[in-house]
Structure 1
Amino acid sequence: MTSQETRRGRDETEEERADRMWGELIQEVRVAQTGVQILFGFLLTVVFQQKYAGLPDVDKTIYIVTVFLGASATGALIGPVSLHRLVAGRKVKPEAVRLASKLTQIGLFLLLATMTSSLVLILRVATSGSHVTWFVGVVVAWYLVCWYGLPLWARRRHTTR
């Protein structure tokens, strides 16, 4: 058997592969961007609510950390768009795809941290602090299974060597 016969996958050049991967990455980023932008927009309004002034200092600190995480996630998930605009036509698409992928992975991790922190804050206020750790732990475990566990399992199970 020749290597051509045993090879699986697409028959594409590095540039064609980069074009395809870029399109797929941008579609994925659109989903994450929408979520992080809605969450971040909501977070920005919280400080202007009357109830904010009465929050304990620990909750205000959680809020500030959450806003910082949301801003960071927004930056990382919008970064691939700016990257593409600044390097378009410079014949560096394969490198740009790799860098944009890393930014997206960082953005997703920061989105996870933002959502976790948001849950902590909301549940502390909504439940007077009772059982917050358990509720947040269950939701974060679910996020980890959906965002990392299942994809890594599928990659390991279905990737041919």
Structure 2
Amino acid sequence: MSEHDAVVGDGRNETVNEQMDRNWGELLQELRVLQTGVQILAGFLLTIPFQERFESLDDYQVGLYLSNVVLAALITAVILLPVSVHRRLFRKQLKQTLVSSADRIAKVALAGVALLSAGTASLVFDVTAGREAGLLAGGGLLAVMVLLLVFVPIWLHKRASRG
């Protein structure tokens, strides 16, 4: 097998370059889904200061709100990072580096989206149902996100490895 051949036994008849191109395309699709979710949450957050009730928020709620806005902006930057990396590595025969770095970046973005979702839910519950409800909602949602985004994929991988 040459360095340009596909991994033996993967069930596909493609070269490593074709495999990297496919993996890159799949990563871009995943990042598009993440980007849409972040845009929706960020758009929601950006409307909050223009509501009459915003001025009645306490210091904790304003801090949580601002933390969520910063987190949404940072996640947007993380999701855009593979595009920047691609521009820098384009035509330099570094597709494997691009794909492996984008894979790590996508995992960081997933973690950020989980935090942003939990933070946004916490803020909404805090404002509408009180601090305890906000903390429970945010913590509960974060726990569910960790379960779904970390432990379910690990479990599925182990299950598939067993046969």
Range into which the TM-score falls when normalised by the shorter chain:
0.7 to 0.9
Which residue in the other structure is 1:8 paired with?
9
Deviation, 1:105, is 0.9
- Structure 1 vs Structure 2 CA RMSD: 1.9
Deviation digits for residues 25-61 of structure 1 (CA, Å, limit 9, x no counterpart) = 1111111110011111221221222211221011101
Q: Is structure 2 residue 136 aligned with structure 1 residue 134?
A: yes
Does structure 1 retain, via aligned residues, the 8 Å contact 2:125–2:134? yes
Task: Kindly indicate whether the alpha-carbon contact (under 8 Å) linking 2:126 and 2:135 is maintained by their aligned counterparts in 1.
Answer: no
Residue 116 of structure 1 and its aligned partner are, at CA, apart by 1.1
Q: Distance in 1 between matches of 2:142 and 2:35?
A: 19
Residue from 58, 73, 98 that aligns with 2:100: 98
Runs of 4 or more off by more than 4 Å in structure 1? Answer: none
Q: Write out per-residue CA displacement over residues 71-121 of structure 1, whole angstroms, 9 at most, x where no aligned residue.
A: 111111122123223322221111011111111111111111111111111
1:86 maps to 2:88: yes
- In the TM superposition, residue 14 of structure 1 has moved relative to its aligned partner by 2.6
Show the counterpart of 2:160.
Answer: 158
Q: Which has the higher contact order (CA 8 A, sep 6+)?
A: 1
Alpha-carbon separation, structure 2, partners of 1:59 and 1:157? 42
Cα separation, 2, equivalents of 1:24 and 1:66: 28
- Match of 2:142, SS? helix
Q: Is the 8 A contact 2:46 2:69 kept in 1?
A: yes
Q: TM-score, normalised by structure 2?
A: 0.85
* Aligned-partner SS, 1:47: helix
How do residues 19-98 of structure 1 correspond to structure 2 at under 5 angstroms? Answer: 19-98=21-100
- In structure 1, what is the equivalent of residue 5 of structure 2? none
What is the number of residues matched between the two proteins?
A: 155
Q: Which amino acid aligns with 1:100?
A: A
On the 8 A contact 1:72/1:107 being kept in 2, the answer is no
SS at match of 1:53: helix
Deviation at 1:150, TM superposition (A): 1.2
TM (norm. structure 1) is: 0.86
Segment of structure 1 superposing worse, 49-58 or 76-85: 76-85
User: 2 CA distance for matches of 1:159 and 1:26?
Assistant: 26
Inter-partner Cα distance in structure 1 for 2:142 and 2:158: 22
Asked whether the equivalents of residues 118 and 137 of structure 2 are also in contact (C-alpha less than 8 Å), the reply is no
Give the unaligned 5+ runs of structure 2: 1-7
Deviations, residues 5-27 of structure 1 (Å, cap 9, x unaligned): xx521354332221111011111
Using the aligned pairs only, state the percent identity: 33
